[in-house]
Structure 1
C-alpha cells in the first residue's frame, strides 16, 4: 500500500510538472493573456520567408509576416508573427490579440482549445492514469 501511495504522489507530481512545462513551451500563458485582452486590426508591412528542412529532409518555406497596429492610446506596435502560418500579403490586414498592458506580446493566432487548456488536460490525464495505476498496484501488493 505504501508503494502505491508513493507511486501515486510521484506520478501526479510528474504529470503536473509536465503539464506546466508543455504549457510554457506552447506559450500558453502569453497566448491566454493576449486572447483574454484586446483585439486590433494589424496591417502587414512585409513578409520574411525562411527556408528550412524538416526531420525527413523535405525542404519547407515558412513565411513570417511583420505586423503593425495601433493601441487605443495611439501607440504603434510592430511585431513579427512567428507562431501562426498566416496567408497575408504585404498591405493586407489581420486581427491580432494582445494584452492591454503588454501589447508587444501580440499574436495573430486565433484562440484555440489546446493552447488554452493544455496544462489542465495533461495534468488531468496524467493524474487519472496515476490514480488508476496506484489502485492496481495497491490491489496487487
Structure 2
C-alpha cells in the first residue's frame, strides 16, 4: 500500500511535467516562427473535427492545410489549427516560419501577449495537478 501512495502520484506528476514541457515547446516554436520569415501560402483544405457528446459539451475545431515555398525553395505543407476562420480553400494567407524549421510554420497572426497568456494559463492549469498529487503524497504518506 505504501508503494502506491507514492507511485501513483509520482506517475501523475511525471505525466503532467511531460505535458508542461509540450506546452512550453509549442509556445517556443510559435514564438520562433513569428520571429522568423514570412511567406505567402495557399490554403489547400479546411476541415473540422468534433469532440465531446454523450452528455458532454460538443466542441468543433477548424483545421487548415497550407502550402508555401520556403526561402530555400522547398515546398512545405503543414496543418494549422490557429489560422483565422475566414480563410477558405484556395485563399492566400501569410504564414510565419523559422528558417531552420519551416515545418513549424504557423498561420496564426502574431499575438505575443496572447501566446504568453495562453501558455501561462496552460501551465497554471497543469500545475494544479502537480500540487494535488504532492498534497496526496504528503497527506497519505504521513498515515503509512
Same fold, TM exceeding 0.5? yes
Note if contact 1:34-1:105 (Cα within 8 Å) is conserved in structure 2. Answer: yes
Give the match for residue 81 of structure 1: 80
Q: How does 1:53-68 map to 2 (within 5 A)?
A: 53=52, 57-68=56-67
Name the TM-score, length of structure 1 as normaliser: 0.60
Distance 1:65 1:51 in 2: 15
Give the match for residue 38 of structure 1: 37
Per mean C-alpha deviation after superposition, the further-off stretch among 57-66 and 38-47 is: 57-66
Name the TM-score, length of structure 2 as normaliser: 0.59
Q: Secondary structure at the match of 2:48?
A: strand
CA RMSD of aligned residues (A): 3.0
Q: How does 1:1-141 map to 2 (within 5 A)?
A: 24-25=22-23, 27-53=26-52, 57-112=56-111, 113-116=113-116
Q: How far apart are 1:48 and its partner, in Å?
A: 2.0
Distance 1:84 1:23 in 2: 23
Distance 1:66 1:29 in 2: 21
* Structure number, greater radius of gyration: 1
Q: Could you report, residue by residue, the CA deviation over 1:86-117 in whole angstroms, capped at 9, with x for unpaired residues? A: 32111011111000111000001111113257
Q: How far apart are 1:34 and its partner, in Å?
A: 0.3
Q: How far apart are 1:44 and its partner, in Å?
A: 0.5
Alignment length, in residue pairs? 103
Structure 2 unpaired stretches of 5+: 1-16, 124-144
Structure 1 unpaired stretches of 5+: 1-17, 123-141
Distance 2:32 2:85 in 1: 21
Q: Secondary structure at the match of 2:56?
A: coil
Per mean C-alpha deviation after superposition, the further-off stretch among 85-94 and 34-43 is: 85-94
